[in-house]
Structure 1
Amino acid sequence: MGLNSEEWVIASIGAIMAGGFSVGILSSSSAKACQVIAENTEMDFFVVDDNRQLQKVLQIQGSLKHLQAIVQYKEDLQVKQENLYSWKGFLNLAKAVPDDTLDKVVDSQRPNQCCTVVYSLASTGPSKAVMLSHDNITWTTAATIQSLCYKCPPEGQEVLVNYLPLSYIGAQIFDMWVAISVAGALYFAQPDALKGSLMDTLREVRPTTFCGVPWMWDRMYDAMKTRQLDSSGFWRMIDKWAMRLGLQTNRRRMSGHVHPPLCFRLAKKLTFDGAKKALGLDHCQQFFSMGLGLSRVTQEFFLSLDIPIFQLYGLTECTGVHTLSSYEAFQVLSCGKGLPDTHTKVPEEDENKIGEIYLWGRNIFMGYLNNKEGTEKKMDSHGWLHTGDLGFLDDSDFLYVMGNIKDTITLSSGQKIHPTPIEERVKLSIPIVRYAVVVGQDAPYLCALLTLKCQINSETGEPRDVLTSEAVAFCRKLRSQPTRLTDIILDRDPLVSDFISQSIEAINSEASSDGARIVKWTILDTDFSVGGGELGATMKLRRAAVTKIYQEEIESFYKDD
């Protein structure tokens, strides 16, 4: 339990090689959450990074009957007790263990044995302890490398930057296990990476592969739009030409045309190379988005800069990845195709061919620890994992994910609505909107909560009241002059409000039914954040939390009905 570091990785692998299993705990977890996890897994050893995390363990150690020792790997020990070790003191214990003893332990392990327990990042309800085997980890890592374009010595070396919590299995696979398998160099970002320092780290390290989350790509989009708006009129004209060419060329590549036009090299030199360098991605060959929610606007913006963002899909229960995009399999908004020798199906499709996504393969988990009933609900007798996510497969077996079954809104009429496609259209039609959350469970019609694009406080990571440069510039096009969110909310800016209303009406005109129309909307007084509770540890939207936090605003939609 602690921030990502080499000690975190060493401790995790060490636990596995010693014949035990590793359990990652988010550093933001409370002492009570730690106790629940420790008791459920019968934890023998706690490895923590600093005194703040140590204090959580000291609070609960009296109730942990299996606890043998605690190891702290950062800072000097401020507490003395018999079973507490510093990192150096803990490593020194190895001197008393003969190599042949360790070799026997390693040789006794089998592919089908559990080697790690990962707590799923549940958006609703308690998280579950997912058991993953040696085979789950090693096979998924090998299949991922086989499907992508990683360099290995002596031809070259991958350079990776880790900033997502390693207690998240996707970060473990792409940052930790892939780095080991291809002999890559793994750099750990600063603790405040998601508050703003990640860009500085990327510019210093210059990774060859980068895994972002949709939130991170959106922030990079903001940074690039600001950079372009700050440039001269001449360079804005050049960038516009180059980006139009970049988008056309990459769309042709998706259709099988591999040869770029002659002027593409000029566009690369004038615009694309500078944009990648500004982001710290000038050495990068592969760009990924982990997690759902990457908008078409963001994806096509980067595609126009010759940065194709490869989306992937996976749950903790399928070892973090099941389908992924690559240069050989890429379509905008698709999560790509399945790993080799895996299967994906979408039975029970509705009239729009959207149904629950089922997965099968060697990446599928062993089951939930101490939860046989939960395991049987998640995985059927034939080994198919029932994801709970909704989507469809196109004729070329590209997977498109449209949301989760739990997100489905049932109106009072009984009609079921998938909110994700509607929210995507809102963000596409209204460029100043960051998040759109459609609500209306058990109500007569749909409404929408909107947040506008605001700058981020680099010290706290929280959204500021100041609009992004892109949002300000867009308002100027509407002949409106706001620079702050409060300018729009408190002054009830009619120009912005009218534009949003007209855009919503245009979206409603294309709705598949009257029930899929947005009847009312409101702009919230802040953008979403981790600190506010609307986003999770990997910046994923927590829809249930949003509806709870903004319950008053939601109720006001229907008060006069």
Structure 2
Amino acid sequence: MGYFTSQQKHKWSTEKRGGKWRGSLPMPHEGFLPQLGLERFHSVGIMGLNSQEWVIASIGAIMAGGFSVGILSTNSPKACQVIAESSEIDIFVVDNDRQLQKVIQIQGYLKHLKAIVQYKEEIRTRLQNLYSWRGFLDLADGISEDTLDRVIDSQKPNQCCTLVYSLSVTGPPKAMMLSHDNITWTTVATAQSLSYKCPPEEQEVLVSYLPLSYMSAQLFDMWISIFVAGALYFAQPDALRGSLVDTLQEVKPTTFHGVPWVWDRLLDSLKTNQLASSPFRRRIDKWAMWLGLRTNKRRILGQLHPPLCFSLAKKLTFNQARKSLGLHHCRQFFNLGLGLPRATMDYFLSLNMPIFELYGLSESTGIHTLSRQQDFRLLSCGKSLPSTHTKMQREDEEGIGDIHIWGRNVFMGYLNDEENTQEKIDVHGWLHTGDLGFLDTDEFLYIMGNARDIITLSSGERINPNPIEARVKRHIPIVRYVVVVGQDAPYLCALLTLKCQVNMDTGEPRNALTSEAVAFCRHLRSQATRLSDIVYDGDPVVLEFISQGIDAANAEVSSDSAKIVKWTILETDFSVAGGELGATTKLKRAMVAKIYQTEIERFYKEDEES
């Protein structure tokens, strides 16, 4: 394994410490035991950006008989306190002074906390129980191997080793218990199903940038890379603010996984390059992408032999597009989050880069269904892992029902929460996901939304907003996010955001539209280049186009209740910094409703006044 910085590449090397060879990774479980006082079944809280130290601390905590607890670096001190108290954290491992100050602020309330380890930056605060990373590793010297072996041998496959927290806007976070068997079985099943390569045949190269506190990212970045002896590189802290492509170009991964927001950013980069090319080059790309989309859709239907000119399109366009993103060595592309727009999927498919959808929850150890080259359907999340099962319950007239799953990937339950555990897992071991979907005749799973997303109108009619939002995005390409609202209201309304550039330093959206959005405005014969040109100045051409797009989306629904009656364009795009998106850029509907409560109330207030 290795890690990457913008200046140079570093390798984790075999080192000799305390007269003994420790292998290729310095394992800190020796230091966690007697020196720092990690008790059996207590936790090590790890809070920081992805790094080799994060991985080492997590594995060390498990080997020492404790629980590894990943904590988002964006968490508030109060959220950290709730997690630390419920999981009985004995040791905090943090990456910098900013995270350290959060722990210092709450340590007086934490009765189990014994030590803090800071693994990056120079330590500015002096505390008796605060250790540098090097000082922490030095604690392991002199610990007998027999002591360590006894702890490791005492662990059983069905015992918990990792806690994954789901943060809720409406209540306290819940700790999901994952066992050794959950992680090892799911790792092996996923790696084998996706045909990962292993030395000496070939070494997989992966880039870690999505928060490791999320189970799906942890499964791919940590456990699968270890299982296949892969090379794992860690992206820069500003990866999601713009430096990710630089890292990809340097590392050249063989497998890449992203979330919808990341795929949209990569799409923006490709379209920017295309717009900057010559008219002749654009004509070539247009022909190649037409051929690529047609060929790949036929391949999905079983027509495996591409036309003779496909190799020419590959040489002229497809290879160049991959190289511009640093993905020219990639064999597989995965999407880890729901909600990837069909237009985005088709765009990459036209460049011979099929994005394989996966589906899973933290409660299913991050994954349950997966798509592969030989098992791939557009808009589907693929088929269940081997020896696992998926079924639909309470199906409606269209065959859409509640998704229930079963298998060795299903978690142990919620920590100290028997009531919620019994609600989530029934007596037969089926996990009630809370998601809605259907299985086709070939057992491919399609996700149609989450039960929590369902809007109940004042008439009592229940509406799933996800298909409505997808239709609006399809008809209005310059829209980034659509959030349909209308809980307990007489009709549906929509909040729209337009595609805006991102400030690479802060991660906040700019006023300037993306090059793709500007090009589309030019296509409409609009001169708009900024969001304010449309929102504040009321660009008539763009507003009329959006209105027509809403009408077109409404025309596709059979029920008037599922039509959008009113809509508004928000003054900013959604972002992690703004609170509308989670750390993996997943839309947080409850937060959107809270942040834009005034705009939502304004939709219906006009009716009351009239």
**Match for 1:193 among 239, 259, 271?**
239
**Aligned to 2:197, what secondary structure does the other structure show?**
coil
Displacement after TM superposition at 1:350 (Å): 1.2
Structure 1 unaligned regions, length at least 5: none
Q: Deviations over 1:528-561 (max 9, x none)?
A: 0011111011100001111111111111111232
Tell me if the contact between 1:290 and 1:313 (Cα under 8 Å) persists in the aligned partners. Answer: yes
Aligned match of 2:126: 80
Aligned match of 2:457: 411
- Partners in 2 of 1:324 and 1:120 — Cα distance? 22
- Partners in 1 of 2:93 and 2:493 — Cα distance? 46
**Match for 2:160 among 110, 114, 123?**
114
**Match for 1:297 among 331, 343, 350?**
343
Aligned match of 1:162: 208
Aligned match of 1:545: 591
| Residue identity (%) | 72
**Match for 1:308 among 317, 336, 354?**
354
- Partners in 2 of 1:258 and 1:376 — Cα distance? 47
**Match for 1:472 among 504, 518, 532?**
518
- Partners in 2 of 1:396 and 1:356 — Cα distance? 19
Q: Deviations over 1:274-316 (max 9, x none)?
A: 0000011001111011111100000000000000001111111
- Partners in 2 of 1:121 and 1:284 — Cα distance? 33
Aligned match of 2:185: 139
Tell me if the contact between 1:208 and 1:284 (Cα under 8 Å) persists in the aligned partners. Answer: yes
Aligned match of 1:28: 74
- Partners in 2 of 1:158 and 1:380 — Cα distance? 38
Mapping for residues 445-456 of structure 1, pairs under 5 Å: 445-456=491-502
Aligned match of 1:53: 99
Displacement after TM superposition at 1:81 (Å): 2.8
- Partners in 2 of 1:384 and 1:122 — Cα distance? 23
**Match for 1:152 among 198, 214, 231?**
198
Mapping for residues 503-514 of structure 1, pairs under 5 Å: 503-514=549-560
**Aligned to 1:391, what secondary structure does the other structure show?**
strand
**Aligned to 1:422, what secondary structure does the other structure show?**
helix
Aligned match of 2:19: none
Displacement after TM superposition at 1:125 (Å): 3.3
**Aligned to 1:191, what secondary structure does the other structure show?**
coil
Aligned match of 2:402: 356
Displacement after TM superposition at 1:122 (Å): 4.1
**Match for 2:302 among 252, 256, 274?**
256
Tell me if the contact between 2:83 and 2:173 (Cα under 8 Å) persists in the aligned partners. Answer: no
- Partners in 2 of 1:557 and 1:147 — Cα distance? 49
- Partners in 1 of 2:446 and 2:258 — Cα distance? 19
- Partners in 2 of 1:149 and 1:143 — Cα distance? 10
- TM-score scaled to structure 2, two decimals? 0.91
Aligned match of 1:180: 226
Q: Which residue identity lines up with residue 126 of structure 2 in the other structure?
A: K
- Partners in 2 of 1:58 and 1:410 — Cα distance? 44
- Partners in 1 of 2:570 and 2:355 — Cα distance? 30
Relative to structure 1, the CA distance from residue 121 to residue 330 in structure 2 (aligned partners, 3 Å threshold; closer, same or farther) is: farther
Q: Which residue identity lines up with residue 113 of structure 2 in the other structure?
A: L
**Match for 1:519 among 565, 570, 580?**
565
**Aligned to 2:141, what secondary structure does the other structure show?**
helix
- Partners in 2 of 1:83 and 1:528 — Cα distance? 40
- Partners in 2 of 1:186 and 1:278 — Cα distance? 21
- Partners in 1 of 2:167 and 2:296 — Cα distance? 34
Aligned match of 2:482: 436
Task: Give the alignment's Cα RMSD to 1 decimal.
Answer: 1.1
Q: Which residue identity lines up with residue 234 of structure 2 in the other structure?
A: F
**Aligned to 2:606, what secondary structure does the other structure show?**
coil
Tell me if the contact between 2:379 and 2:446 (Cα under 8 Å) persists in the aligned partners. Answer: yes
Tell me if the contact between 1:123 and 1:543 (Cα under 8 Å) persists in the aligned partners. Answer: no
Displacement after TM superposition at 1:435 (Å): 0.6
Displacement after TM superposition at 1:230 (Å): 1.1
Relative to structure 1, the CA distance from residue 125 to residue 63 in structure 2 (aligned partners, 3 Å threshold; closer, same or farther) is: closer
Aligned match of 2:425: 379
Q: Deviations over 1:358-385 (max 9, x none)?
A: 1100000001001111111111111111
Displacement after TM superposition at 1:149 (Å): 2.2
Is it true that 1:279 corresponds to 2:336 in the alignment? no
Tell me if the contact between 2:486 and 2:493 (Cα under 8 Å) persists in the aligned partners. Answer: yes
**Match for 1:423 among 469, 478, 486?**
469
* Count of residue correspondences: 561
Q: Which residue identity lines up with residue 160 of structure 2 in the other structure?
A: C
